Amino acid sequence: METSFLEVLLRAFQLIFSLSPEVLSITLLSLRVSGTAVLIGALIGVPIGMVLGLVQFRGKRNLMHFIDITLRSIVNTFMGLPPVVVGLVVYLLLTASGPLGVLGLLYTPTAMIITQLIMVVPIIIGVTMSAVGSVEKAVREKALSLGATDRQAAWMVLREARMGVLTAIIVAFGAAISEVGGILITGGNIRWVTRTLTTAIVVEVELGNFALAISLGIILLSLAFAINLTLTIIQLRGIKR
Amino acid sequence: MQFQVETRNLYKEYSGKKILSDVSLGVEIGEIFALIGPNGAGKTTLLRILDFLDEPSKGTVWFQGARVNFSERNTQALRRGIGMVFQQTLLFNTSVSNNVAYPLKVRGENEREIEQRVKEALKIVQLEGFESNNALKLSGGEAQRVALAQALITDPELLLLDEPTANLDPRNLSIVEEVLSWANRERKTTIIMATHNMFQAEALADRAALIMEGRIEKIGKIQEIFTLPSKTLTKFARLENVFSGVSRLSKEGTSVIDIDEVQIEAALQRSGNVSVYVRPEDIILSSQPLISSARNRFEGRITEISDQGSILRLRVKAGKDFTVQITKRSFNEMQLNMDSTVFLTFKASAVQII
């Protein structure tokens, strides 16, 4: 058993640089699951978030206002959805006796993607919505004053919110790649099949393999950093252009 | 006389708060009309209603003799004859030329025509060669000039401006003022501008309305407005560098005005009680006495520094309180600070009588 923190850290780096096939497969699966979930999540969440952002504050009548507030609160609640609860619900749907049991998806990467998808869509909707909403009034009025039609003005609002949309994707990916509770339930943490960086860490900690757990943690952090760096560079470029 | 735009008994309330009350005014075709009043007087709301971005709670707006129906389709069509420059400069996150081209693009003009007119518009605001610059990387003054080019590129019949020169440094300020009088003179553009700067209004406008707490207190030719007692005027506008004293003629044909312990020399021929004004931008500030033919030279110390973006406004106590402005860069180069001793220099011809 490793004892000192330094020793654990040292062994962890050795493990990373030995690049075992298993660690590699775990890493790739993490990327595949979270990447796919965020990609599909963006395709669903960005348009919805844009529409919700555009209609913000426009409802003058009381009923519209009420619907508006309710809708927004629902989105915000779902943004903080506990992954474990999502995992549980997806498990109950996909389990052999469940309504979607015939699909045989439980304990597959697909089940994990579905779990994370449900988690990231509200995040992407929420962040996109507030990004669009924050520039909506000023950009829309500016465009209208320059002679734009309502539709042209709305299009300009979306264009100006594009950096905020990228933020939504960054936030969603960060949440997905670090998530463990949901995919642990629906993926089952099966070695070589559904084991990801986060679920592997849970197992290794339980087994007392702290060096391996830390090394997986370092890989997870580095990955998150690399992807955030790339997206941030794109974001800064976008501002310069 | 046909009005370019007219309001009749306009009221605007916003969540129970009265912003405008019984505003009736007509702006004639081809004139420059100033809305003068302190911050919060309702100038911005009035301009927004004239650009149909806000709907009045009561009363009517008439554009070129026709009553404005505030339906979306109608206001969109009318708005195409109007240019608007907001107080808060907002440019789109793209190149300067895309920004300036936008009003023509939404009107479906062809590419070649657009390119040509963007060039012209940038030339008018003296930003030739800025086409491919990113609009968000411009200085405050440059951005404001791009916004002006956006409003002018369609050659609007009516140009609305909300504090177009607030927070601009002297160079940008004079460019903007030049462009406005050019547009009015050469293109016969009707201009309505909100300002709290009386002297800008006096320099540019034909007529003006004094607005206070959402009501028009006085409306008329700019000369009539300026014959009001200066105490009344001070209520409406920020008046700085205004001094009252006793003037006497000097041997050189100028006037020397005694203001308490300070004497200001003015290129005027007046004697008796006068009130005079010196534009902050006409006062040169230096850390050493300046060798100059300018008649007015004072030594003082800095008592107040306020940040206005690229420029600083300083209050200098030199017998009397003077307001001067200086770029941040010069301020740093001269290593100035609160309580620094400075020298103020301005020409006798910079002193204007009120």
- Per residue in A189-233, pLDDT tens? 999 999 999 999 999 999 998 888 988 999 999 999 998 899 888
**Do B216 and B256 fall within a single domain?**
no
pLDDT digits 0-9 by tens, B330-339: 888 899 888 9
CATH superfamily of A5-240: MetI-like (1.10.3720.10)
pLDDT averaged over chain B?
Answer: 90
Region B72-92: mean pLDDT is 93
With beta carbons less than 8 A apart as the criterion, state whether A157 and A61 touch.
no
| B88 → chain A, closest CA residue | A138
The answer to whether B53 faces chain A, any CB pair under 8 Å, is yes
Q: Name the domain boundary from B190, B209, B236.
A: B236
Strands B341-346 and B215-221: unpaired
Left, alpha or beta for B25 (phi > 0: left; psi -120 to 50: alpha)?
Answer: beta
Q: Do B90 and A146 touch (CB under 8 A)?
A: no
Neighbours of B34 (CB within 10 A): 27
**Do B317 and B280 fall within a single domain?**
yes
Measured CA to CA, the distance from residue A160 to residue A136 in angstroms comes to: 9
Measured CA to CA, the distance from residue A183 to residue A206 in angstroms comes to: 17
Measured CA to CA, the distance from residue B301 to residue A66 in angstroms comes to: 58
pLDDT digits 0-9 by tens, B117-138: 999 999 999 999 999 999 999 9
The answer to whether B55 faces chain A, any CB pair under 8 Å, is no
* Strand ranges inside chain B, DSSP E: 3-14, 17-28, 32-36, 58-63, 66-67, 82-85, 158-162, 190-195, 207-212, 215-221, 242-249, 255-259, 262-266, 272-278, 284-286, 296-308, 311-318, 320-327, 341-346, 351-353
What is the predicted pLDDT for the residue at A241?
45
Residues of chain B neighbouring A162 (CB-CB closer than 8 A)? 93
The answer to whether B74 faces chain A, any CB pair under 8 Å, is no
What is the predicted pLDDT for the residue at B237?
64
With beta carbons less than 8 A apart as the criterion, state whether B12 and B19 touch.
yes
What is the predicted pLDDT for the residue at A2?
47
Q: Do A146 and B103 touch (CB under 8 A)?
A: yes
Smallest Cα distance from B103 to chain A, Å: 5
Smallest Cα distance from A147 to chain B, Å: 5
**Do B193 and B78 fall within a single domain?**
yes
**Do B94 and B153 fall within a single domain?**
yes
With beta carbons less than 8 A apart as the criterion, state whether B106 and B51 touch.
no
Q: Name the domain boundary from B207, B236, B265.
A: B236
**Do B181 and B63 fall within a single domain?**
yes
Region B39-56: mean pLDDT is 94
Residues of chain B neighbouring A142 (CB-CB closer than 8 A)? 86, 90, 92
What is the predicted pLDDT for the residue at A18?
81
CATH code (residue B82): 3.40.50.300
Measured CA to CA, the distance from residue B136 to residue B116 in angstroms comes to: 23
Q: Name the domain boundary from B193, B220, B236.
A: B236
Among A58, A134, A146, A155, the strongest candidate for a mutation testing the B interface, having the largest count of B CBs within 10 A, is: A146
Domain, as residue range, for B217 = 3-236
Residues of chain B neighbouring A240 (CB-CB closer than 8 A)? 134, 137
Measured CA to CA, the distance from residue B315 to residue B301 in angstroms comes to: 8
Number of structural domains found in chain B:
2
Sorting pLDDT into bands at 50, 70 and 90, what band is B309?
low
CATH code (residue B345): 2.40.50.100
Q: Residue B309, SS3?
A: coil
**Do B201 and B277 fall within a single domain?**
no
| Residue pointed to by tokens 């060039």 | B119
What is the predicted pLDDT for the residue at A35?
96
**Do B67 and B210 fall within a single domain?**
yes
Q: Do A160 and B134 touch (CB under 8 A)?
A: no
Chain B, residues 128-147, CB within 8 A of chain A, namely: 134, 136-137
| Tally of CA atoms within 13 A in the half-sphere of B171 that contains its CB | 9
Angle, vertex CA B84, rays to CA A59 and CA B15, nearest 5? 35
Q: Which of B293, B291, B298 is nearest to B317 (CA)?
A: B298
Q: Residue A54, SS3?
A: helix
**Do B205 and B254 fall within a single domain?**
no
Q: Which of B40, B76, B50 is nearest to B161 (CA)?
A: B50
Residues of chain A neighbouring B51 (CB-CB closer than 8 A)? 145
**Do B222 and B260 fall within a single domain?**
no
Strands B255-259 and B242-249: antiparallel
**Do B264 and B128 fall within a single domain?**
no
Which sign, positive or negative, has the C-alpha torsion A197, A201, A204, A206?
negative
Q: Do A145 and B51 touch (CB under 8 A)?
A: yes
Smallest Cα distance from B199 to chain A, Å: 28
**Do B123 and B30 fall within a single domain?**
yes
Low-confidence ranges of chain A (pLDDT < 50): 2, 240-241
Left, alpha or beta for A35 (phi > 0: left; psi -120 to 50: alpha)?
Answer: alpha
Q: Residue A131, SS3?
A: helix
Residues of chain B neighbouring A159 (CB-CB closer than 8 A)? 92-93
Q: Residue B141, SS3?
A: helix
Region B227-252: mean pLDDT is 77
**Do B154 and B262 fall within a single domain?**
no
Among B92, B99, B144, the strongest candidate for a mutation testing the A interface, having the largest count of A CBs within 10 A, is: B92
pLDDT score of B35 more than 90 = yes
Smallest Cα distance from A149 to chain B, Å: 7
